[in-house]
Structure 1
Amino acid sequence: MKLMQLVSLAAVMSLSLGVNAESVPEDKISTLRQAPLNVESTPPRMQKVMNTDVKQTRNYPMQPPVIPHKIDGYQIDTKVNKCMSCHARNRTKESQAPMVSVTHYMDRQNNFLANLSPRRYFCTQCHVSQLDAKPQVENEFVDIDQLINSEAKH
Structure 2
Amino acid sequence: MRPRLLITVMVAACLGAGALLAQDAPRLRGPEPFTQEQAAPPMQRAVTNDVRVRRNYPDQPPLIPHAVEGYALDLNANKCMSCHARRFTEQSQAPMISVTHYQDREGNTLGGLAPRRYACMACHVPQTEARPLVENRFIDMDVLTEPERHPGGRSNR
Residue in 1 aligned with 2:54?
Answer: 57
- 2:68 and 2:156 map into 1 onto residues whose CA distance is 44
- CA shift, 1:22, in A, is 9.9
CA distance, structure 2, for counterparts of residue 121 and residue 21 of structure 1: 49
Hey, what does 2:29 align to over in structure 1? 33
Counterpart-to-counterpart distance in 1, 2:59 and 2:48: 23
Aligned length: 140
Secondary structure of 2:83's match? helix
Task: Find out whether 1:111 has 2:103 as its counterpart.
Answer: no
The 3 A distance-change label for structure 1 pair 136 and 102 is same
Question: What code does the residue aligned with 1:24 have?
Answer: A
In the superposition, the TM-score normalised over structure 2's length comes to: 0.79
Cα distance in 2 between the residues matched to 1:140 and 1:97: 31
Aligned residue in 1 for 2:98: 101
Are residue 87 (structure 1) and residue 84 (structure 2) matched? yes
For the Cα contact (< 8 Å) 2:143–2:155, is it kept in 1? Answer: no
Quote the offset at 1:20 in angstroms: 6.3
1:61: how far off? 1.2
CA deviation vs aligned residue, 1:79-114 (integer Å, no higher than 9, x gap): 111100000011111111000001001111111112
With the length of structure 1 as denominator, give the TM-score of the two structures. Answer: 0.80
- Aligned 1:10-25 pairs, distance under 5 A: 23-25=18-20
Tell me whether 39-48 or 107-116 shows the greater mean CA deviation: 39-48
Match of 1:66 among 63, 67, 72: 63
Q: Evaluate the alpha carbon distance shift between residue 103 and residue 21 of structure 1 in structure 2; reply closer, same or farther with a 3 A threshold.
A: farther
Deviation at residue 33 of structure 1 after TM alignment: 1.6
Using CA pairs under 8 Å that are at least 6 residues apart, name the structure with larger relative contact order, 1 or 2: 1
Instruction: Describe the SS at the equivalent of 2:87.
Output: coil
Contact 2:144–2:156 (Cα < 8 Å) also in 1: no
Residue type at the aligned position of 1:134 = R
For 2:55 and 2:128, the matched residues in 1 are separated by 16
Q: Could you list the runs of 5+ residues in structure 1 that have no partner in the other structure?
A: 1-14
Aligned residue for 1:91, secondary structure, equals helix
Q: CA deviation at 1:43?
A: 2.5
Could you tell me which residue of structure 2 aligns to residue 135 of structure 1?
Answer: 132
Unaligned runs of 5+ in 2: 1-9, 148-153
